[in-house]
């Protein structure tokens, strides 16, 4: 079994319910599933859209990275995501990314692990740190804690909490 960390996000529809439902489905093939708290984040890259709700999950799986990606795409489609009709980096009902796959590195045309944007995205790093404060980025050999500390504030807020870009705000 391999330990994996996934990032989930939604900003279209009832995002909180969509994320809860997606986690239920992930439980079908992720064992010892754990989830972070919920985070609100400003949209990046394509700004003309609503804020996202983000969280991270971790668990163990027997699936290969390719099989995991297929299952993730199935869950996204179950929640209304149609990649052929969406704006790149635009609004979406559900986005699930494989962030880390058991400290291994994979590079294929449509599957890169660790996720290539992980080191620059607090909306992915901060939820991951809730799950594993000592986690190391497999490609960089640097702790996620150090990576997050080097980034400027990006408008990431824990939901139902008054902290901002925790635990790295001034």
- From 35, 95, 121, 132, active-site residue: 95
Answer yes or no: is 144 within a domain: no
**Would you state the torsion angle of the CA atoms of residues 153, 157, 158, 164, taken in this order, to the nearest 10 degrees?**
50
Domain residue limits at 48: 2-116
Report the 10 Å Cβ neighbour count for 65: 19
Told to judge if 97 belongs to the known catalytic residues of this protein, a careful annotator would answer yes
115, 6 Cβ separation under 8 angstroms? no
pLDDT of res. 165: 53
Told to judge if 110 belongs to the known catalytic residues of this protein, a careful annotator would answer no
pLDDT digits (tens, 9 = 90+) for 102-139: 999 999 999 999 999 999 999 999 999 999 999 999 99
Told to judge if 35 belongs to the known catalytic residues of this protein, a careful annotator would answer no
Answer yes or no: is 85 within a domain: yes
Answer yes or no: is 44 within a domain: yes
pLDDT of res. 49: 82
Instruction: Give CA separation, 118 vs 48, 50, 80, 122, in Å.
Output: 22, 21, 25, 8
Answer yes or no: is 147 within a domain: no
Domain total of the chain? 1
Answer yes or no: is 101 within a domain: yes
pLDDT at 164 over 60: no
- From 35, 97, 121, 132, active-site residue: 97
Answer yes or no: is 148 within a domain: no
pLDDT at 141 over 60: yes
145, 119 Cβ separation under 8 angstroms? no
160 band by pLDDT with thresholds 50, 70 and 90: confident
Told to judge if 145 belongs to the known catalytic residues of this protein, a careful annotator would answer no
Q: Which of 10-14, 34-38, 89-93, 118-122 bottoms out in mean pLDDT, i.e. has the lowest?
A: 89-93
Answer yes or no: is 51 within a domain: yes
- Give the CA angle between residues 43, 126, 54 to the nearest 5°: 45
Instruction: State the CATH number of the domain containing residue 100.
Output: 3.30.70.560
């Amino acid at each position: 079994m391999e330990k994996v960390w996934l990032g989930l996000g939604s900003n279209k529809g009832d995002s909180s319910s969509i994320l809860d439902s997606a986690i239920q489905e992930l439980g079908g093939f992720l064992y010892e599933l754990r989830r972070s708290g919920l985070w609100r984040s400003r949209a990046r890259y394509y700004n003309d859209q609503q804020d996202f709700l983000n969280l991270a999950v971790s668990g163990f799986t027997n699936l290969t990275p390719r099989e995991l990606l297929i299952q993730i795409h199935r869950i996204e489609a179950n929640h209304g995501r149609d990649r052929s009709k969406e704006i790149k980096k635009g609004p979406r009902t559900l986005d699930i990314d494989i962030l880390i796959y058991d400290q291994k590195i994979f590079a294929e045309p449509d599957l890169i692990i660790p996720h290539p944007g992980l080191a620059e995205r607090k909306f992915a790093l901060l939820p991951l740190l809730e799950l594993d404060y000592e986690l190391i980025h497999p490609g960089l050999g640097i702790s996620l804690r150090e990576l997050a500390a080097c980034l400027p504030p990006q408008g990431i807020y824990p939901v139902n909490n008054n902290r901002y870009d925790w635990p790295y705000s001034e």
